Amino acid sequence: MLLGTIWMALREIRKNAMRSILTMLGVVIGVGAVVTLVTVGDGATASVTASISALGNNVLMVMPGSDRRPGSSGATGDPLEIADAGAIREIAGLLAVAPTASKQLLAVYGNKSWRTTVSGVTTDYLPARGYAVEKGRNLTTGEVTAGRAVCLIGATVARELFGSGDPLGAAVRLGRVSCTIIGVLGSKGAGMMGNDNDDLILLPIKAFQRRIAGNTNVAMIFVAVAEGRSTSSIKQQIEGLMRERRRIGRGAPDDFNVRDMQEIIETVSTTNKMMTALLGAVAAVSLLVGGIGIMNIMLVSVTERTREIGIRLAVGALGRDVLLQFLIEAITLSTLGGALGVILGMGGAYAITQALKMPFLVSPNMIVLAFAFSAFVGVLFGYLPARKAAHLDPIEALRHE
């Protein structure tokens, strides 16, 4: 009986194809918008999380200055020193402690040049940042302590300066320094802001300070925490240690800050979730409007089909048979709209995620939810018209012109 009623509803919908499509449009757009927004939002969260994770999940960053907002220099404290890194290394449970300082420079090789980020680092930099050497070798401790003019280059720099040629052993000029390339790093791809993680040149920090920067400043210390250690407790220890080393009095604010990547990931994903929820709410409103459209058309349909209802009642339909018929018609309409919306929304989300180079993640939960919600819209807004139909008086309905 139920199947028969659904079948009947589908035929009724087809008889009024144009009107049915227009009626469904509200739900189609509503569901489509929800699906697109949620899918794109999920993709954005995943891609940001992935690129932050690429820095290493268990990485802390120690920076001078008290401002906690990423990307802003804020009030600057005294710069860090290499000795700070040495002191931090004494803390138990660390994998790597990598002090670093950087500068944008033109790298020149033969008749080619390429503007890139040149960083002074130690041997710990590669493990702390998750880089691996693809060709050649890492810096040695000897080279780092001596501040030798040797360097590692990223995949992008290798491509720009050497094309398909072999960079190993070649000398690039960085400002006034000539550096021998001892290794090429494996590619890490694009970062979270679309920045290129492979566009870099690394050389011993002493060499960088002496020959490029002209000072002994350290801009940042990356601290990789061992698996299973709590980053927040390590963070507290570093903060204590740094306050002591920088002689910050009791109650005075830090003039440095320690950032926890885990925290940043959480902040980013909660922000994204909030955006998604907000946009979802907007989309839900449009679904509501779609539901009202369905109610409107169902009311018109009940009036138009008054005689039909009279005939059905006359041959023995109960009020609830008629109620069910119209309710199922409304639900079928809204669910069909929901299905179309899911298809369109998925298509839209696919196009957007592809264009923005984000992962396209299909969430089955959300699809089920979208269906359930559109069916619910059908029930909610179909009930009133269906009840009106079910309560018609058979004789009056039969007389209706």
* Spatial separation of the C-alpha atoms in residues 30 and 345, rounded to whole Å: 9
Show the binding pattern over residues 262-301: x = contacts other proteins (CB under 8 A), - = does not: ----------------------------------------
CB 15, min distance to other proteins, A:
6
Decide whether 137 or 307 has the Cβ nearer to other proteins: 307
Chain Cα centroid distance, residue 391: 52
- Distance CA(6)–CA(136), nearest Å, equals 69
Among 76-84, 212-220, 229-237, 309-317, the segment contacting other proteins (CB under 8 A):
309-317
- What is the 3 state secondary structure string of 118-141? EEEECCCHHHHHCCCEEEECCCCH
User: Given the rule CB under 8 A, which of 39-47, 152-160, 288-296, 302-310 is the region that contacts other proteins?
Assistant: 302-310
Restricted to residues 7-26, the positions that interact with other proteins (CB under 8 A) are: 15
**Are 355 and 288 a contacting pair, CB within 8 Å?**
no
For the bound state, the minimum distance from the C-beta of residue 366 to other proteins, rounded and expressed in Å, comes to 37
Q: Does 87 bind other proteins (CB under 8 A)?
A: no
Enumerate long-range contacts of 262-265, CB under 8 Å, 24 or more apart. 262/57, 262/58, 262/231, 264/52, 264/70, 265/48, 265/49, 265/52, 265/53, 265/57
User: Binder to other proteins among 142, 319, 347, 359 (CB under 8 A)?
Assistant: 319
- Write down the least CB distance from residue 397 to other proteins, Å: 10
Candidate residues 22, 278, 314, 362; the one interacting with other proteins per rule CB under 8 A: 314
311 binds other proteins, rule: CB under 8 A: yes
Among 124, 260, 308, 329, binds other proteins (CB under 8 A): 308
79 binds other proteins (CB under 8 A): no
Largest CA distance in the chain: 104
Closer CB to other proteins, 280 or 394, in the complex: 394
Question: Should residue 196 be labelled a site residue for other proteins when binding is judged by CB under 8 A?
Answer: no
Q: How many residues bind other proteins (CB under 8 A)?
A: 20
Q: Tokens 């691996």 sit at which residue? A: 132
Candidates 91, 186, 321, 343; binder of other proteins (CB under 8 A) is 321
Q: How far apart are CA 239 and CA 258, in angstroms?
A: 7
- Tell me whether residue 252 is exposed, middle or buried, using C-beta atoms within 10 angstroms of its C-beta: 0 to 12, 13 to 18, 19 or more: exposed
**From CA 135, how far away is CA 185, in angstroms rounded?**
7
157 within 8 A of 197, measured Cβ to Cβ: no
Binding site for other proteins (CB under 8 A): 1, 4, 15, 307-308, 310-321, 394-395, 398
